[in-house]
Structure formats: C-alpha cells, structure tokens
Structure 1
C-alpha cells in the first residue's frame, strides 16, 4: 500500500510540474519605451547581471551601469596607450564584467565596481575584429571574431577571465572564402549548459557548434540569404539545448525579408526557414522572452521592434523605434540600446481568456 501511495504521489508531482512549466498564453499588444540615457554614443553591448544590474559599453571607450530601479547611471571610461576602444561586446561571469573592443589591437578588459579596469588580453593583427562574448559559468567564457587566418577567431578563458587563449585553427572548422561575422549586437554566440553556437555571415553564413564548451567543433549549413559581405545571420538565441532561432538579413536593404529567419529543433544540426518573405526584414538581435516556454520571441533592429508569439513562425510589429540590441530582465521587462540611447522596455500584454 505504501508503494502504491508513493507512486501516486510521484505521478501527481510530475503532472503538476508539467502544468507549471507550460507558460500561460498572452496577447502582446505593444511596448512602452522609457529612455534611460540619451547621448551621442552608439551602444551595441549590454548585459544584465544576476543581481539585476544593467551594464553597457559604447563606441567611445565608455562603460557604466544602472542598478535595477535606478534611472541614474554610474559612468567611467577607458583609454589604453592613447587608444579609445570601440566596444561591441560585453559579458558577465557573475562576479566581474568583461569588455571587448573591435579593431587592432584587440583589447579585452576585466572590470568591476571596486577595482580599476585590467587588461586581460591583447592581440595585434591587422584583421583582428572581435564581435561577441559570453560565459558558460563563472570560470569559463568565450569570445569570437572575424578570421585572422583560416578559421574564426575564438578566445576561451578557463580561469574566470583572468587570462584568455586563442584557439588554433587546427581545432576549429575552416571558414569559407568571405565568411566572417557581424559585430551588431553581441549575440553571435549562444550557450546552453556545455553547448555553444556561433553564427557567421558574409559570402557564407553557417552555424558553428561545440558540445563541450569549445573543446571540439562542428559546422552546419543554414538556408539563409548569403553571398555578399552584408548578408547572413547576425544573431542567435537558444531556448534549450534543442530549440533555437537565428535572424539577420542585409542592413543595407533592411526591408528585404527573404530567407533571413531560421529555427532549429535538433540543436542546430538542421535549420528551417520561417516567415520567409514576410516581415520583419533585417534585424540585428533576437531573444527569447523568458518564462514563455520558447514561444515568445522579440527581435530588434534600427527599423523597429518585432514580436512573435509562436516561436518565430509569424511576427507583428511592436514599435518603429530602432535599437541594435536587447536583453530581457523578466517576461515583461527588457533593456535595449542603440544609436544615441539606452532604454527600458515594458511589454504591453493582455491575457488570453
């Protein structure tokens, strides 16, 4: 009898968990935008820490943060050997913040609220151009950039960001001619657990995949627009280890919506075109809305904000206000950055009866 009772309890708990995992459907009707900071800056790199602090870095060597609930930033700047870094990538390992600039020399800094910036990686190469950075955990992180040889530039740290090493090309898939990446929103990389995905673009646009935090790599084709330097995938996000979405297009023809949105259900091995020849066109950043079971997705670009309630298969416009990048704090609140501003976004929602 005790065994039967135990099995019944387990069954009830499993059913309860499945029900609680299923997000309640919502009808998103719009978005309210509250400016946080307006300046002559260009911001493509933002990060929300586990404590809810919004960090950002711009194209003039400046960086700073907003504590959650505050509308006043703490600001600082970095100059290194008379070089003013143009930051396009930012990441947090839960303890410190890391800033990475484009161009040569490639400069990667470690910062926090108490200590002055510390240079933890420098690379001199005429082709050096890093695009994105993130962490798997508090000790291990990854950055990626354009090729300086026959492979993408991939940096990895295993000691909390104190030092970074460049992965040799014999450990990475070789790139095709004209294949690179876009430093548009710091979302060329997505990670889930030990798994990692990197999207490339240009004359070839593909998805690079590592199952083991950058130790081994494979590469998969994506049925997206490519063949010119401005074409391809610009951003990727994964809901779980199997379900992901990527978006891009052509920033020089932002309303062209042919073959610029894809999804995967098998961890990136194959990709399916979605909403082909339907809006939105070019978008520089795509993110799943947390707590929505992978159904709700938001994409931003300099021509506006778009929303999908069915995993990207159909979209509707939320706003014509342009941003380069977005990060969600919860299922209703996000922060976005772009040319001349940082803003707080609140999704306007109506529950489905």
Structure 2
C-alpha cells in the first residue's frame, strides 16, 4: 500500500509539474459565434462566479446566459427614464448595474430578477463610467467631475446596499477637462486592496489607491492627451506591479501615436510601447489569464489585436469590431459591441 501511494504521489507531482510549464504560442485568429444580436449597444459585460456571463445594454435591459447559452433578459426604467447602462459589476453575491447621464442610477439585481435602486444622483453633470468590487462588502464606481476639483468616486462598504461619494478633499485634484471614458467598464482595475483609475481628455493620468479608496495618489502617463477625445480608455493589471493601458482617439481610430503604455512599478511610472505602430484606438484591453502577463488582447470597433510579449508588438487577429471583452479562460472569451454579444475562441499554434 505504501509503495502504491508513493507511485501515485509521484505521478501527481510529475503531472502537476508538466501542466504548469509555460508553453509559448501564437494566436492566428479568432472564431466568433454570435450569442445575441439585436438593435442594442453593449459595453457592460461581466463573468459571474467564474462561468455565467451577465450583460447590460443601452436600453435599460440586463440579463445573463443560461446553461444552454440562451439569454434571460429583464429591464428596468426610472419614471420615464430608460437607463443607458455602461457598467456592470459583481461582489460574487449580487450583480450591480450603473447608467450614464443624469440622474445617475445604480441598481442592485434582486434574487427574483428585479432591480432595486440603491443610489441616485441628480447633478446635471453626473456621468459615471465604471464600477468594480474589492470584495463581497466593498466596491467602487467612478465618474466624471460634477464640480471643479475632483473625479466623482462612489464607494460602498455594506455589500452594495448603499453608496456614498468620497469628498473632494480626500481625492487628488483633477484639472480642467480631465474626465474618464465610459467605453468598456475597464478604466478602473483592482488587485487585492489596490485600485487604479485612468482619466482622459485634456489630461490623462492614473489615480491610485493602495487601501480600497481611503487614500489616493496620482501619476502622470506619457500618452496622447490634450483634447476631449484623447487619452487612455482602458487599463488592466496582471499583478500589483505589472499593468497595461490603451486608448487613442475614437474619432480617429487609425491614430496610433503614444496610445499604448506599460508599467512595472504599480503605475508610478509608465513607458510607451508600439508607438506609431498598430493598433490604433482600442476601447478595451485585457491580459489573457494563465499566460504569465505575456499575452494581451485589445478590442475596439475596428477589430481585435493580440500581443504575446506584454504589449511590445502587436498583430491583428480579427477585423470584427467590439467594445469590450472578458476571458473565461486562456482560450475562450466573451465580447460585446454594437448590436451583439459573442463567444470568441482563440485559434492558436505552439511556438518552438
């Protein structure tokens, strides 16, 4: 029996060692299967509990795909207002939806499928861009300034049941014309207690909190900026040190000068990569899970781009446009855009 247990443990050890070895690969294309096609715009998608895709659109609709891949859809309105959702988030217990424009409306999806309004803001300049949770109890949502001096930052400390704004005197000063883009719900990212927010427009910077929004610092980034449509649109961090951001100008999507940057010190300093080289404008960037921070996918309405060296060089893998993307694993992702939600499977080949 002891000998048998020894052999079994040895086999398990060998199997784990070989399966954990990183094997270089190239992505040669993407297989795209439509899941939902409609006259909608979807910039808010989230994978809940590691398997179920949720979404929200610009017509007050939200829902998920069941185990058969069929959409289960509900909708909400506030008086005569139909929310234009561009942010969705989960704390692993509940799903939350956040709309742009005024009044700002933040909903918690109830167990019966209905949606409860948990935050409302009536400032005429209210415009929230993205939302994410640190844990089951604490979450954050960010938006454009409604008064001179700071970005709009909401936090919850009770599981999303109520939200409050961080006072301006607790945040770094924003400059005139500095805001954020509600392009893909990815101008905010979280690793543990750490939080990064990217701004754009006349200034494009990184706002960083090491302690779940209790204190903040701000760092400059050498990306294109200085006009309302310029700057960073999306950021993703592989770990507490390694991150990547992308943007450009959606009105000039071919413009690729200084629109991609990476950091290796947690966002304190940034280095431009692939400047004056494709891709141009992209609205969402994500590290591919399980690929050691080397492989990155960026999507925009002009196509999908892939990097296998952390963003230093890129190649196009599809001309089909999307606004946002989330990965299920290292080969399968979900993406959404104008009139569609789709399942993407990466076509790959091993490299020597």
Q: Distance in 1 between matches of 2:16 and 2:178?
A: 44
- Tell me if structure 1 keeps the 8 A contact 2:85–2:97: yes
Counterpart position of 1:85? 83
The residue number in structure 2 matching 1:349 is 348
Structure-1 residue corresponding to 2:124: 126
**How big is the shift at 1:120?**
0.5
**3-state secondary structure, aligned to 1:60:** coil
Residue number in structure 1 paired with 2:37:
38
Match of 2:227 in 1: 228
* Equivalence map 1:199-238=2 (5 Å): 199-238=198-237
In 1, the alpha carbon distance for the partners of 2:63 and 2:216 equals 35
Aligned equivalents of 2:123, 2:132: Cα separation in 1: 22
* 2:74–2:113 Cα contact (<8 Å) kept: no
Normalising by the residue count of structure 1, what TM-score does the alignment of the two structures yield?
0.93
Counterpart in 1 of 2:60? 61
State the match for 1:117 in structure 2. 115
**How many residues matched?**
339
The CA deviation string for residues 259-298 of structure 1, in whole angstroms up to 9 with x for no partner, is 0000000000000000000000000000000000000000
Distance verdict in 2 for CA 1:200–1:212, change over 3 Å: same
Q: What corresponds to 1:321 in structure 2? A: 320
Partner of 2:103: 105
Distance 1:21 1:168 in 2: 46
Shift of 1:51: 4.2
Structure-1 separation of matches of 2:72 and 2:16: 41
Partner of 1:50: 49
Matches of 1:298 and 1:112, distance apart in 2: 33
Residue number in structure 2 paired with 1:194: 193
Query: Residue 22 of structure 1: CA displacement?
Result: 5.4
Moved more, 220-229 or 16-25: 16-25
Structure 1, unaligned runs of 5 or more: 1-12
TM score, norm. by length of structure 2: 0.94
Q: 1:271 maps to what in 2? A: 270
Q: Distance between the aligned counterparts of 1:308 and 1:27, measured in 2?
A: 9
- Structure 2: gaps of 5 or more residues: 1-12
| Mapped partners of 1:290, 1:85: distance in 2 | 32
Cα distance in 2, alignment partners of residues 320 and 282 from structure 1: 13
Change (3 A) 1:195 1:18: farther
Task: Tell me, in whole angstroms, the C-alpha distance in 1 between the residues paired with 2:91 and 2:16.
Answer: 30
| 1:213 counterpart SS class | coil
